[in-house]
Structure 1
Amino acid sequence: MTERYLSTKEVGERLGLKNAASAGLPEPDVLVGRTKGWKPETIDAWLANRPGQGVGGGRPRKDRD
Protein backbone atom coordinates (compact mmCIF):
# COMPACT_ATOMS: atom_id res chain seq x y z
CA MET A 1 0.00 0.00 0.00
CA THR A 2 1.28 3.46 -0.89
CA GLU A 3 1.62 5.98 1.96
CA ARG A 4 0.02 9.39 1.27
CA TYR A 5 1.72 12.55 2.52
CA LEU A 6 0.40 16.12 2.53
CA SER A 7 2.40 18.86 0.84
CA THR A 8 2.86 22.28 2.44
CA LYS A 9 0.06 23.60 0.22
CA GLU A 10 -2.28 20.77 1.25
CA VAL A 11 -1.47 21.34 4.93
CA GLY A 12 -2.34 25.01 4.46
CA GLU A 13 -5.67 24.09 2.87
CA ARG A 14 -6.38 21.66 5.73
CA LEU A 15 -5.64 24.37 8.31
CA GLY A 16 -7.30 27.22 6.40
CA LEU A 17 -4.03 29.13 5.97
CA LYS A 18 -2.68 30.90 2.90
CA ASN A 19 0.94 30.39 3.92
CA ALA A 20 1.36 27.21 5.98
CA ALA A 21 5.15 27.42 5.70
CA SER A 22 5.16 30.29 8.21
CA ALA A 23 2.85 28.49 10.68
CA GLY A 24 5.62 26.75 12.61
CA LEU A 25 4.67 23.30 11.39
CA PRO A 26 6.06 20.18 13.04
CA GLU A 27 9.02 18.34 11.56
CA PRO A 28 7.97 16.63 8.32
CA ASP A 29 7.45 12.87 8.28
CA VAL A 30 9.31 12.59 4.99
CA LEU A 31 11.74 14.73 3.04
CA VAL A 32 12.23 14.07 -0.68
CA GLY A 33 14.92 16.40 -1.90
CA ARG A 34 13.72 19.75 -0.57
CA THR A 35 10.04 18.76 -0.57
CA LYS A 36 8.47 18.15 2.85
CA GLY A 37 5.57 15.79 3.49
CA TRP A 38 3.35 15.16 6.51
CA LYS A 39 0.96 12.35 7.33
CA PRO A 40 -2.56 13.69 7.93
CA GLU A 41 -2.54 12.23 11.46
CA THR A 42 0.71 14.12 12.24
CA ILE A 43 -0.95 17.44 11.34
CA ASP A 44 -4.13 16.53 13.25
CA ALA A 45 -2.14 15.66 16.41
CA TRP A 46 -0.03 18.81 16.09
CA LEU A 47 -3.15 20.97 15.71
CA ALA A 48 -4.87 19.31 18.69
CA ASN A 49 -1.87 20.02 20.94
CA ARG A 50 -1.37 23.67 19.98
CA PRO A 51 -2.45 26.23 22.57
CA GLY A 52 -5.47 28.32 21.64
CA GLN A 53 -5.32 31.98 20.76
CA GLY A 54 -4.66 34.22 23.72
CA VAL A 55 -3.27 31.48 25.94
CA GLY A 56 -0.28 32.89 27.79
CA GLY A 57 0.19 35.76 25.39
CA GLY A 58 -0.80 39.28 24.74
CA ARG A 59 -0.59 42.39 26.82
CA PRO A 60 -1.84 42.26 30.41
CA ARG A 61 -5.10 44.09 31.00
CA LYS A 62 -5.11 47.33 32.93
CA ASP A 63 -6.89 47.22 36.25
CA ARG A 64 -9.91 49.50 36.20
CA ASP A 65 -10.77 51.22 39.44
Structure 2
Amino acid sequence: MVERYLGVKQVAERLGITSGGLLNLKLPEPDAYIGRTRGWKAETIDAWNAARPGRGVGGGRPRRDSRGA
Protein backbone atom coordinates (compact mmCIF):
# COMPACT_ATOMS: atom_id res chain seq x y z
CA MET A 1 0.00 0.00 0.00
CA VAL A 2 1.26 3.48 -0.89
CA GLU A 3 1.34 6.10 1.86
CA ARG A 4 0.04 9.55 0.88
CA TYR A 5 1.61 12.67 2.35
CA LEU A 6 0.71 16.33 2.06
CA GLY A 7 3.33 18.84 0.99
CA VAL A 8 3.34 22.47 2.11
CA LYS A 9 1.04 23.51 -0.73
CA GLN A 10 -1.53 20.80 0.13
CA VAL A 11 -1.35 21.64 3.86
CA ALA A 12 -2.13 25.28 3.06
CA GLU A 13 -5.07 24.25 0.87
CA ARG A 14 -6.38 21.94 3.60
CA LEU A 15 -6.22 24.78 6.15
CA GLY A 16 -7.74 27.30 3.75
CA ILE A 17 -4.76 29.68 3.79
CA THR A 18 -1.99 30.63 1.38
CA SER A 19 1.36 28.89 1.33
CA GLY A 20 2.87 32.14 2.58
CA GLY A 21 0.46 32.10 5.50
CA LEU A 22 2.07 28.89 6.71
CA LEU A 23 5.23 30.83 7.45
CA ASN A 24 3.45 32.33 10.47
CA LEU A 25 2.50 28.91 11.85
CA LYS A 26 4.60 26.36 13.69
CA LEU A 27 3.65 23.18 11.91
CA PRO A 28 3.99 19.80 13.61
CA GLU A 29 7.00 17.62 12.96
CA PRO A 30 6.72 16.06 9.51
CA ASP A 31 5.76 12.41 9.22
CA ALA A 32 8.28 11.93 6.41
CA TYR A 33 11.10 13.60 4.54
CA ILE A 34 11.91 13.03 0.90
CA GLY A 35 15.25 14.72 0.55
CA ARG A 36 14.63 18.09 2.20
CA THR A 37 10.92 18.09 1.36
CA ARG A 38 8.59 17.66 4.33
CA GLY A 39 5.46 15.54 4.23
CA TRP A 40 2.54 15.16 6.64
CA LYS A 41 -0.27 12.66 6.84
CA ALA A 42 -3.69 14.28 6.58
CA GLU A 43 -4.55 12.91 10.05
CA THR A 44 -1.49 14.64 11.54
CA ILE A 45 -2.51 18.02 10.12
CA ASP A 46 -6.16 17.59 11.11
CA ALA A 47 -5.26 16.69 14.72
CA TRP A 48 -2.76 19.54 14.95
CA ASN A 49 -5.27 22.04 13.53
CA ALA A 50 -8.02 20.89 15.91
CA ALA A 51 -5.70 21.42 18.90
CA ARG A 52 -4.64 24.95 17.90
CA PRO A 53 -6.00 27.84 19.99
CA GLY A 54 -8.76 29.88 18.41
CA ARG A 55 -8.36 33.27 16.81
CA GLY A 56 -7.60 36.05 19.27
CA VAL A 57 -6.35 33.78 22.03
CA GLY A 58 -3.39 35.10 23.95
CA GLY A 59 -3.62 38.82 23.57
CA GLY A 60 -4.05 41.43 20.97
CA ARG A 61 -5.29 44.95 21.36
CA PRO A 62 -7.79 45.42 24.21
CA ARG A 63 -11.34 46.28 23.18
CA ARG A 64 -12.35 49.90 23.36
CA ASP A 65 -14.64 50.68 26.26
CA SER A 66 -18.19 51.22 24.98
CA ARG A 67 -18.54 54.23 27.29
CA GLY A 68 -15.95 56.11 25.23
CA ALA A 69 -13.24 55.94 27.88
TM range, smaller chain: 0.7 to 0.9
Gaps of 5+ in 2: none
Partner of 1:7: 7
Any gaps of 5 or more consecutive residues in structure 1? none
- AA of the residue aligned to 1:2: V
RMSD over aligned Cα atoms: 1.6
Partner Cα separation in structure 1 for residue 15 and residue 57 of structure 2: 19
- Bigger shift: 52-61 or 5-14? 52-61
Q: TM-score, with normalisation over the residues of structure 2?
A: 0.80
User: How far is the alpha carbon of 1:58 from its aligned partner?
Assistant: 0.5
What TM-score comes out, normalization by structure 1 length?
Answer: 0.85
Secondary structure at the residue paired with 1:47? helix
Runs of at least 4 residues of structure 1 off by over 6 A? none
